[in-house]
Structure 1
Amino acid sequence: MNEVLAGLSVVSTICAIVFGYVAFARNGKRDVADEAKSDATVLTEIGYIKANTDEIKAEQKEQRKTNVEVVTRLTAVEASAKQAHKRLDAFESRERREHEE
């Protein structure tokens, strides 16, 4: 009877070790799969951020180009207004001289 109990104890210990290892291996595979999923999600998010950053850079470049065009046109308008003011001043001077005579 003691031999049966001893044998049963040995068998149950071996079964516990085997089942524990099987559970550990299965959970390890599950952990690897979960980690792969997590890594894939992170990589997807990084790709999304990169795409948005590239889009923002393109828009910023386009805005910079527009600003240069506006500054160029503003400079031309200021020069034209300056010339117009000179002509108006000359016209006013002529008008004053004609009225004084």
Structure 2
Amino acid sequence: MTIEIGLLFTVISLIIAVLGYQLNKQKAAIEQQKEIKIDSQQDARIQAQLDYIGKGVDDIRIDLKASEKERIALGERVTRVEESTKQAHKRIDFIENKEEK
């Protein structure tokens, strides 16, 4: 009878050990799923921020190109104004020289 009680306690201990192992395994799986969920949320946030930054960079490039076109147009206008001013000074000098004589 003592062997049967000892054997019974051994079997119960093994069952409790197996159940404890299964419980810990399930907890570990749940923790891993939570970590995966948190990581995927962080990855999604980072991806969204990178997309936002990329869009901002594209907008800056477009603005920069527009500014460069305006600068080139302004440079051409300044060149024309300088040429016109030079011609006007020649005419003024001609008129002054005419009046002096």
TM-score (norm 2): 0.87
Alignment partner, residue 47 of structure 1: 51
What does 1:1-101 correspond to in 2, within 5 Å?
Answer: 1-97=5-101
Aligned counterparts of 1:45 and 1:24: Cα–Cα separation in 2: 31
Instruction: State the AA in 2 paired with 1:68.
Output: I
Instruction: Measure how far apart 1:48 and its partner are.
Output: 0.3
Question: Unaligned stretches of 5+ in structure 1?
Answer: none
User: C-alpha offsets along residues 43-70 of structure 1, whole Å, 9 cap, x if unaligned?
Assistant: 1011101111111111111111111110
Deviation, structure 1 residue 28: 1.2
Q: Which amino acid aligns with 1:44?
A: A
- Between the aligned partners of 2:95 and 2:8, the Cα distance in structure 1 is 127
User: C-alpha root-mean-square deviation of aligned residues, in Å?
Assistant: 1.3
Runs of 4+ in 1 over 2 A off after TM superposition: 1-9
Task: Name the % identity.
Answer: 25
The count of corresponding residues between Structure 1 and Structure 2 is 97
Alpha-carbon separation, structure 2, partners of 1:14 and 1:51: 55
Mapped to 1, the partners of 2:53 and 2:65 lie a distance apart of 18
Q: How big is the shift at 1:2?
A: 3.4
